[in-house]
Amino acid sequence: MDRDTLVEKVKLEKSRHEEEVRNLTNKSEFLKEFWAARSDLKHATRRWNYLTAVDEVYIDRYFEKRNRRVRKWERNLGWALSQTFEIKSLIDFGCGLGSYLEGAKMAGTEKILGLELMYDFAIKYVPELIKPFVQKADVGESLDYGKWDCAMSVEVAEHIPEENSDVFVENLIRASERLIILTASRRSGTTHINPHFREWWIGKFVVRECAYSHELTQKLRDAWKVPAGNREYLLFNLMVFLAPNTFEIILDQK
């Protein structure tokens, strides 16, 4: 779906929910329906804001806060990812501050690349070592940056329009020749516009001939458990896939 069509679709969706809320306001006998309509309107409004004013959603303060609160542990997770799976090259779709790439680079990953829609805000907080390897790109649009040992996207899928989910998945598959690392939240957070259960995402990869690996997912969960601290949601949302046509055991189970 092209952007203009999507914008028009979400505009109509938002208008429909606004009208529904108006019609249910002050009607106590429809209180349950009113709150459901309010929830739908909030979701539609978030989608509309993303499509029409994304630079007002993910502002400089958003990245400054992430730099203070998450950079260190994300860097540690990147290090653990690289060490656990012996990653030779890594591409990160929606890399934010580049912290996962920083950690992977420190752990010995030779080649890295980060793609970030809000590049102009994020780049101010990206470590100098990583800045040359971060580019501006919309991961919800079709992209081709060649093949990488591992393609990853952490806490990004829930922030892109649902209509772009298939393109996003295909980007990850196109980029990977071995592993795909993904997290996706099912919770409707303040900036989440595409919340789905893990099974919804797993299905999208499986129909495209990627294999979901319970064993490798658990292996990475174990490696991430300490550096992730109390962020159990991240471990719960984690998924590890084998790229298409990957039939051999990728790692020795140590």
Q: Where are the domains of the chain?
A: 3-57, 64-242
* Amino acid symbol at 103: G
151-209 pLDDT, tens digit per residue, is 999 999 999 999 999 999 999 999 999 999 999 999 877 889 999 999 999 999 999 99
The rounded mean pLDDT for the chain is 92
- Name the band, by pLDDT with cuts 50, 70 and 90, for residue 252: very low
pLDDT, tens digit, 9 for 90 and up, residues 127-147: 999 999 999 999 999 999 999
Provide the 3-class DSSP secondary structure of residue 251. coil
- What is the pLDDT at residue 90? 98
Residue 37 in tokens: 């309509």
The residue that leads in pLDDT, 253 or 217, is 217
What CATH number labels 64-242? 3.40.50.150
Beta bridge partners of 90: 112, 150
pLDDT > 70: what percent of the chain? 97
| Each residue's pLDDT tens digit, 45-59 | 988 888 898 888 888
What's the confidence (pLDDT) of residue 24? 85
Query: What is this structure's pTM?
Result: 0.89
Q: What is the DSSP string of 132-200?
A: GGEEE--TTS------EEEEEE-S-GGGS-GGGHHHHHHHHHHHEEEEEEEE---S--TT-S----HHH
The burial class, CB within 10 Å (0-12 / 13-18 / 19+), for 232 is: exposed
Residues near 38 by beta carbon (within 8 Å), at least 6 away in sequence: 21
- Rounded to 10 deg, the angle between the 165-175 and 198-206 helix axes is 60
In angstroms, the Cα distances linking 61 to 26, 29, 57, 114 are: 37, 42, 10, 21
Name the 3-class secondary structure at 209.
Answer: coil
Whether the predicted pLDDT of 251 surpasses 60: no
pLDDT higher than 80, residue 250: no
- Sole residue written with tokens 């978030």: 46
Pairing of strands 238-242, 211-212: antiparallel
Q: What's the confidence (pLDDT) of residue 254?
A: 40
- Taking the CA atoms of 158, 240, 231 and 196 in sequence, report the sign of the dihedral they define: positive
Distance CA 173, CA 170 (A): 5
From the list 45, 129, 137, 56, the residue with the least C-alpha distance to 96 is 137
Q: What are phi and psi of 244, to 5 degrees?
A: -55, 145
pLDDT of res. 208: 96
Residue 24 backbone phi and psi in degrees, to 5: -95, -10
pLDDT at 247: 53
Distance CA 195, CA 188 (A): 6
Quick one: pLDDT at residue 253?
A: 39
